[in-house]
């Protein structure tokens, strides 16, 4: 017969715990505690406390900051989970000196002080610079799109939200009408009517919520000046297209140094399009290093960014500021000889043009200036050099008699009922003013061997930072609302990334 050891729950074991000895040298929590206690100035948090003469003492911002950054390093952003860790996890108990702050204290500390967090982020960047972790040879700029604490189901233009409210009100009226008919017929109310009463209560609350939003919030306009979708929950967030679908969130932009992937500037924006985001990032980098010895950082450092930041206004701004930038355009890869055998992806959502004859199916001889359509008919030369925008084309057009009687008319014209015959534009060149323009200068610069070499470092510099935060650390969304608070949380994430760099490479004991 099997024998087992005796056990008894009616006993006590006293375990002495020294909180100071739990923070072991060489660990991340040791580096975090030393950094916050000895290197950072947290006086910016004092403005949020007014208990000099009355009121009970507040939790020290140093303690709260240690707890929150350590929790973020483990991918935990929920204040309730952090509160539980302070009660159950010995490392969090030691780091917080067993103060055990509640979840509302932790949540308020993160959400109400984004300006103080931004000041700490700048201090961390300058410390990385002093420790030699920033090379200042190349800064790569890119954005990471993350969902926010808002549902995209509550998004829409003011017209769409009005229609949604009217639809909800109609549904409520139908249910109330049905209840009135049941009362007239003296039918006993059943379970279904009780459920509908609860549903009516919820729908009316939703209708009032939409009405309050429409009465208090103006129509939201985008960069182009046209109206964009608002969001009732967080009106500063935006619907953003990503590779995983459409999300309701923010774009977190970061500028990363190429030496050790230290984030030198970070800011969250409400828009998904990145066309106008380069200028505030450049100015933010300049402000970060403004008080340091390296005031001419941007004069010596190369800036790289992908095609999302490429537009004439930004390129003109960079030239005016004297910034050595390498910004790719949408056709950069197609001009790269290394991708000459690269197959273009199949176009999506092609409807009527799916079976339409393309220009490559026409037989064109540029020297003889002749063109023949797939049906074998010759096209006449409409223009030797026609200008469309900044581009020059050789234009051919079919004869009306050939197009009207052609059996391939359906596959050649955009519309079978089209009266004008098919026209073909053959690209020849661009205008002289375009060749001398800022866009062509950037194309020549980035297509040079040196430009391709510099731009090729961008991907391996900035993308691992986003991968580290979202996959290695595990933070995949923002937990706050409004741009001000989300910006503070984004800087807190990037500050965690930089502190990990200091822990691994900046100090001797790491």
H or E element that contains 482: none
Rounded to whole angstroms, how far apart are CA atoms 269 and 301? 24
pLDDT the model gives residue 406: 84
Alpha-carbon 81 to chain mean position: 26
Rounded to whole angstroms, how far apart are CA atoms 78 and 72? 9
Q: How far is CA 223 from CA 220, 226, 270, 466, in A?
A: 10, 8, 11, 26
* 66, 91 Cβ separation under 8 angstroms: no
Q: Got the DSSP string for 335-404?
A: T-GGGTTPPPPPPSS--GGGGSPPGGGSEEETTTTEEE-TTSPEEEEEEEEEEETTEEEEEEE--HHHHH
* 352, 359 Cβ separation under 8 angstroms: no
pLDDT the model gives residue 351: 45
Rounded to whole angstroms, how far apart are CA atoms 180 and 187? 10
* 279, 317 Cβ separation under 8 angstroms: yes
For tokens 């300058």, name the residue.
Answer: 126
CATH of region 138-149+238-337+438-493, choose from 3.40.50, 3.40.1000, 2.40.10, 3.30.420: 3.30.420
pLDDT the model gives residue 102: 92
Rounded to whole angstroms, how far apart are CA atoms 49 and 116? 13
Average pLDDT per run of 10 along the chain, which is 510 residues long? 88 83 89 92 86 82 94 93 92 90 92 91 92 92 91 86 89 83 66 73 88 86 79 87 86 93 92 84 88 64 90 87 88 77 56 67 88 88 82 86 83 80 84 68 88 90 93 91 92 94 77
* 315, 430 Cβ separation under 8 angstroms: no
Task: Output 321-330 pairs: Cβ under 8 A, ≥24 positions apart.
Answer: 321/282, 322/298, 323/282, 323/298, 323/299, 325/442, 326/302, 326/442, 326/445, 326/446, 326/451, 326/454, 326/455, 326/458, 327/278, 327/303, 327/442, 327/446, 328/446, 328/455, 329/439, 329/442, 329/443, 329/446
* 255, 140 Cβ separation under 8 angstroms: yes
The single-letter DSSP state of residue 154 is G
φ and ψ at 157, to 5 degrees?
Answer: -70, 170
| Residue 391, strand partner residues | 388, 430
Pairing type for strands 423-430 and 391-397 reads: antiparallel
Rounded to whole angstroms, how far apart are CA atoms 23 and 498? 20
> Which is it for the CA torsion 294, 299, 302, 305, positive or negative?
positive
Rounded to whole angstroms, how far apart are CA atoms 5 and 353? 80
Quote helix, strand, coil % in the chain, to nearest 5.
Answer: 45, 15, 35
Alpha-carbon 380 to chain mean position: 50
Going from N- to C-terminal start, the domains of the chain cover: 19-49+56-112, 138-149+238-337+438-493, 158-218, 357-431
**491-500 in b/e burial notation, b at 16+ Cβ within 10 A?**
bbbbbbbbbb
* 284, 322 Cβ separation under 8 angstroms: no
**75-109 in b/e burial notation, b at 16+ Cβ within 10 A?**
ebbebeebbebbeebebbbbbbeeeebeeeebbeb
């Amino acid at each position: 017969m099997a024998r087992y050891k005796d056990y008894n729950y009616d006993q006590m074991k006293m375990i002495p715990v020294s909180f100071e000895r739990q923070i072991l040298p060489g660990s991340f929590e040791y580096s975090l505690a030393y950094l916050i206690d000895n290197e950072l100035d947290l006086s910016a948090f004092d403005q949020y406390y007014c208990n000099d003469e009355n009121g009970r003492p507040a939790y020290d911002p140093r303690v709260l900051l240690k707890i929150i950054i350590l929790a973020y390093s483990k991918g935990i952003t929920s204040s309730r989970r952090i509160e539980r860790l302070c009660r159950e996890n010995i490392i969090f108990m030691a780091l917080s000196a067993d103060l055990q702050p509640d979840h509302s204290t932790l949540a308020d500390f993160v959400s109400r002080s984004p300006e103080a967090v931004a000041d700490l982020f700048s201090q961390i960047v300058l410390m990385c610079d002093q420790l030699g972790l920033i090379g200042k040879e190349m800064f790569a700029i890119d954005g990471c799109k993350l969902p926010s604490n808002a549902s995209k189901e509550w998004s829409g233009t003011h017209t769409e939200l009005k229609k949604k409210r009217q639809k909800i009100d109609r549904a409520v009226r139908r249910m109330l009408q049905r209840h009135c008919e049941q009362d007239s017929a003296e039918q006993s109310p059943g379970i279904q009517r009780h459920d509908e009463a609860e549903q009516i209560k919820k729908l009316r609350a939703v209708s009032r919520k939409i009405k309050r939003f429409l009465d208090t919030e103006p129509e939201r306009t985008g960069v182009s000046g046209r109206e964009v979708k608002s969001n009732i929950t967080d009106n500063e967030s935006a619907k953003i297209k990503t590779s995983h679908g459409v999300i309701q969130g923010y774009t977190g932009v970061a500028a990363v140094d190429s030496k050790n992937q230290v984030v030198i500037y970070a800011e969250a924006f409400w828009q998904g399009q990145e066309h106008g985001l380069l200028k505030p990032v450049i100015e933010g980098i300049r402000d970060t290093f403004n008080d340091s010895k390296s005031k001419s950082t941007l004069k010596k450092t190369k800036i790289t960014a992908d095609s999302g930041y490429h537009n004439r206004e930004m390129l003109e701004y960079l030239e005016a500021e004297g910034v050595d930038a390498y910004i790719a355009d949408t056709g950069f890869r197609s001009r790269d000889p290394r991708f000459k055998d690269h197959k273009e992806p199949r176009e999506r959502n092609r409807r009527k043009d799916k079976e339409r004859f393309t220009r490559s199916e026409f037989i064109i001889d540029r020297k003889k200036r002749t063109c023949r359509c797939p049906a074998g008919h010759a096209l006449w030369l409409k223009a030797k050099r026609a200008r469309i925008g900044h581009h020059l084309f050789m234009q051919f057009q079919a004869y009306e008699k050939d197009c009207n009687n052609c059996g391939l008319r359906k596959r050649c014209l955009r519309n079978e009922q089209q009266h004008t015959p098919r026209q073909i534009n053959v690209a020849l060149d661009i205008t002289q003013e375009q060749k001398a323009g800022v866009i062509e200068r950037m194309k020549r610069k980035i297509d040079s061997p040196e430009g391709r070499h510099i731009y090729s470092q961008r991907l391996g510099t900035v993308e691992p930072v986003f991968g580290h935060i979202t996959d290695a650390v595990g933070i995949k969304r923002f937990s706050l609302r409004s741009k001000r608070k989300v910006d503070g949380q984004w800087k807190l994430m990037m500050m965690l990334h930089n502190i990990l760099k200091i822990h691994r490479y900046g100090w001797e004991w790491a």
